[in-house]
Amino acid sequence: MTVELIDSMGDDHSIARAARVSSGTTGTPERNRGLINMLMRDRHGSPFEAVVLQLRVECPIFVAREFLRHRMASYNEVSGRYQEMQPVFYAPDEHRPLRQTGKPGAYHFEAGTPEQHSLTSTAHKSAAGWSWEHYRWLLKEGVAREVARNVLPLNLYTSFYVTLNLRSLLNFLSLRWAHPDSTVPTFPLAEIEDVAMQIDQFARTVAPDAMAAFDKNGRIAP
């Protein structure tokens, strides 16, 4: 999974300025930090909408499908109708847990056996190779890209821009990273958690005080 920060608008100061609209005052950085923490703690969410990030994400289609469920964001994704897809496929590495235990809503994952890892790798490679061959075959026979792509699997890579404000981003992080500081449990897919970890780092460069307040208050989105 790859995430790039393309653009951003606003920072911690923008959050504090939005919150102080009635008083018209500008606080010191230290007072702003206290204010931001209070806003996060008491879930006064709208000032956090003053910060906006645009990111470019490269990930398999099955991860993008989960990401695009986050509706409070704007998206532009590459089109398999207007361009040929590239043969880039995801296969879990040996660190990806393979065995699912527990119950719906509270699954736990454990490492697979060497045999399970080997089978998983072989099956991913074989399915990707077979489907890619058929994709190319259809294109060669003059079938439109938008039809030929139907044979491609969910582990094919896609890429998209996502533009979202910090409040939405915190909601995404609260749901997609089972962070040790989270006070509300979540059970995200490992691959989207990887994306969330990278986004968290970018958000920290844009609004460090807001992110520190997010951690301090149990990583609950305001």
Q: Which two tokens stand for residue 121?
A: 């790798």
Residue whose CB is less far from ligand FAD, 109 or 187: 187
**Given the residues 17, 167, 176, 219, the one annotated as active site:** 176
The identity of residue 173, as a single letter, is: L
Residue whose CB is less far from ligand FAD, 32 or 171: 171
Question: CB of 56 within 8 A of CB of 159?
Answer: yes
Q: Which two tokens stand for residue 112?
A: 């697979």
Q: Output the DSSP codes for 110-152.
A: EPPPHHHHHHHHHHHHHHHHHHHHHHHHHHHTT--HHHHGGG-
175 binds ligand FAD (CB under 6 A): yes
Q: Which range touches ligand FAD (CB under 6 A), out of 26-34, 127-135, 144-152, 170-178?
A: 170-178
14 binds ligand FAD (CB under 6 A): no
Options 27, 153, 188, 218; binder of ligand FAD; rule CB under 6 A: 188
186 binds ligand FAD (CB under 6 A): yes
Whole-Å CA distances, 80 to 86, 149, 150, 163: 10, 7, 10, 21
Q: Which range touches ligand FAD (CB under 6 A), out of 12-20, 78-86, 183-191, 204-212?
A: 183-191
Site residues for ligand FAD, window 69-108 (CB under 6 A)? 69-72
Residue whose CB is less far from ligand FAD, 13 or 62: 62
Output the residue with the shortest Cβ distance to ligand FAD. 71
Q: Is-catalytic flag, 219?
A: no
Q: Which long-range contacts (CB under 8 A, 24 or more apart) does 34-37 make?
A: 36/12, 36/209, 36/210, 36/213, 37/209, 37/212, 37/213, 37/216, 37/217
- Minimum separation from the CB atom of position 108 to ligand FAD (A): 13
Contact pattern for ligand FAD over residues 54 through 73, marking x by CB under 6 A? ---------------xxxx-
Coil, helix or strand for 53?
Answer: strand
Q: CB 100: neighbour CB atoms within 10 A?
A: 9
Summarize as ranges the residues that interact with ligand FAD (CB under 6 A). Answer: 69-72, 168, 171, 175-176, 186-188
For the annotated catalytic residues, the residue numbers are 176
